[in-house]
Structures are given as C-alpha cells and as structure tokens.
Amino acid sequence: MSKTKFRYNPKTLSYEKVRRSVGERVLRGIIFIAPTITLSIILGFVFAYRIESPKEKALQNEVETLKAEFAIVQERMQLVDQVTESIKQRDEDLYRTALGASSFPDELRLMGVGGSDAYKSYKNKSNSELLIATFSKLDQLERKLNAQSLSFKELAKLAKEREKRLASLPAIQPVNNKELKRMASGYGWRIDPVYGTRKMHWGTDFTAKVGTDIYATGDGVVEITRVNSWGYGREIVINHGFGYKTRYAHLSSFLVEVGDTVKRGDLIGLVGNTGKSTGAHLHYEVEKDGHKVNPINYFHSDLTPEQYEKIVEISNNALKSMD
C-alpha cells in the first residue's frame, strides 16, 4: 500500500496532503518500468541472435551439408580435369603424330574464357568463395571438353581421309600373280620389241592368256575406257584421287564403263593383245600428280617382303618390253 505524503505549508502553519499531477504520476511510472523494458529488449536480442531456433539449426545443418557436397563435386571435377589433361596429351603425342596432324591451337583450347565480371553475381552471396571456385572450375572443364571435342572431330575427319587414301592407293598387282611368274618387263629403259631401239618403258608388263581377269588396284572412279588402233590398244584409266591414276592397256574387253566407282580387287577387264603389242599381256602404269612412276613401288598389300624382293629382281632383269 502506497504511503501518503504530506508537505508543510508555512502560510497556514499546517501539513497538507501532497497531491501529484497526472504528468508526474506518468513520469514516475515510466521511470519505474523503463529498466524492465530495457532488460526485455536486451534479452530479446540475445535470444534472437545468440540462441538458434530449431528452424535456424535445420538451415545451418543444410548449409553444412551443401558445403560437404560441393567439396565432393570439386574433388570429382579435379579427377575429370586430370583425365581431360591425359586425353589432351594422348591427342597431341599419339593421335596427331600418327595421323600427321599439326598441334591443336592453344587459342582454341582457351576460347570462351570469361572476364573478371564472369562471377559478379555470386560475390554478394553467402559462401561466395565456394560458389565462385566451383563454377570457375566447371567453366574450365567445359572449355577443355569443348576444345577436345573439336580436336577429335578434326582427327576423325583426318582418319577417314587417311582410310580413304589408303584404300585408294594402287597397292596390289593387277593380275593374279601369286607364283610371281607373270612379270615380263619392268619400269625403266628397255629395248622396244617392234623398233629394236632403246626407249623408256613407263609401266610393268604381266604375261597372261587372253581373257585373264584384270583387277582394280585401288578404290577409284573409271575415267577412261578407250580403244586405240595402235599404242595402248584397249585401255582403262582409273582416277583414285589424291593425285593417283592407273592405266591398264592392251585389253581384250572392258567390264566397266566411264563413271563407274570401283573398289580395290574389283574385276574391270580382261587381258588381251590389242594395240602395239607382241603377245598377250597387260601393260600397267601408275601416275602420281601427273608423273608416271614405277608401279612396283606400290605392290605391298599382296606380297610378303621376300616376294617383293623377288619381283623387284625379276623386273630389273627384263631387258625387253612386250610393247
């Protein structure tokens, strides 16, 4: 119970009861409850910022889990990066060397590199360092893989072209000559069988009966089927691409037409004795970039090393051609 206070009044020489105004009572009330309010606010801040709620704990646990998962992702990206570098080395040191290709340009391997603002949107986020490091590594991997994809596309194209080139080379004998008995005359200076003079023989002669099968020595397109009254007689010319052409002369008949696509080993004609010829045989020539070259240098796909040496010896010993 509040005490009643009195104040002495000298005018009336008596004690009078003190009566406080409403303002004074309100002020005294505020002074009384202010510490309580202040303490409540302080405790509220403490509880709000120092003591985690269950929801905040759950969010914090989720953040820690995500950090751990990001770390695992970074480890895996590092492994992928190592594998990518290994593939790059094989690309440069093995695949490109085997295919005779030049090194893949460094500027293409570095294409698409972002500037300093590439990760600007992550800088104001919590865990910004983790986000920037992860996405930066991911972008590096993407560039490397994209560049490697371009490199492999180039190598695949070169490999197909090389495969086509190898298939187009005139790499076998134009007649069945397993016994190596049909080589009558080789490439070089020989005695002309008709005029008896020394002249250049631009191909190789294979003796065979009229009607013996003649085969395309490489993939290509039939460019010429022509009948000459002298010289080559009935002849076929195949364009193999890559600067190679082959000629088959003195045939008895054609089994292909101009424009036909042929594969190595396809039957194209039959041996004959037409044109300037002293006996049934096939005259075979190889051209490279417009120059006639020694056909024997290309007989490597159907002969062993010993057989090749033997046929070279036979070719060099022949002094007279058959045409």
Q: Could you tell me the residue range of the domain that residue 306 belongs to?
A: 183-317
Residue 12 lies in a domain: yes
Q: Phi, psi (5° rounding) for residue 101?
A: -95, 150
Residue 174 lies in a domain: no
Closest CA to 276 of 199, 224, 211: 199
The verdict on 120 and 26 lying in the same domain is no
Q: What confidence score (pLDDT) does residue 148 get? A: 80
CATH number of the domain residue 288 falls in: 2.70.70.10
Q: What confidence score (pLDDT) does residue 80 get? A: 80
Residue 36 lies in a domain: yes
pLDDT in tens, the chain (323 residues): 456 666 666 767 666 666 666 666 666 667 767 777 777 777 666 656 655 667 767 777 777 777 777 777 777 878 787 888 788 877 777 777 766 677 777 767 666 555 556 666 666 666 677 777 777 777 888 888 788 878 888 878 877 888 888 899 999 999 988 766 777 788 888 888 888 888 889 999 999 999 999 999 999 999 999 999 999 999 999 999 999 999 999 999 999 999 999 999 999 999 999 999 988 999 999 999 999 999 998 887 777 888 888 878 877 766 667 67
The verdict on 204 and 266 lying in the same domain is yes
Q: What confidence score (pLDDT) does residue 169 get? A: 93
Question: What CA–CA distance (Å, rounded) separates 234 from 228?
Answer: 6
Residue 178 lies in a domain: no
Residue after which a domain boundary falls, among 111, 143, 168? 168
Q: What confidence score (pLDDT) does residue 61 get? A: 73
Residue after which a domain boundary falls, among 138, 168, 198? 168
Question: What CA–CA distance (Å, rounded) separates 41 from 59?
Answer: 25
pTM of the model: 0.60
Alpha-helical runs (H) found in the chain: 22-49, 54-90, 96-99, 106-109, 128-168, 305-317
Q: Go through the chain and tell me how many residues it has.
A: 323
Residue 54 lies in a domain: no
When divided into structural domains, the chain yields a total of 3
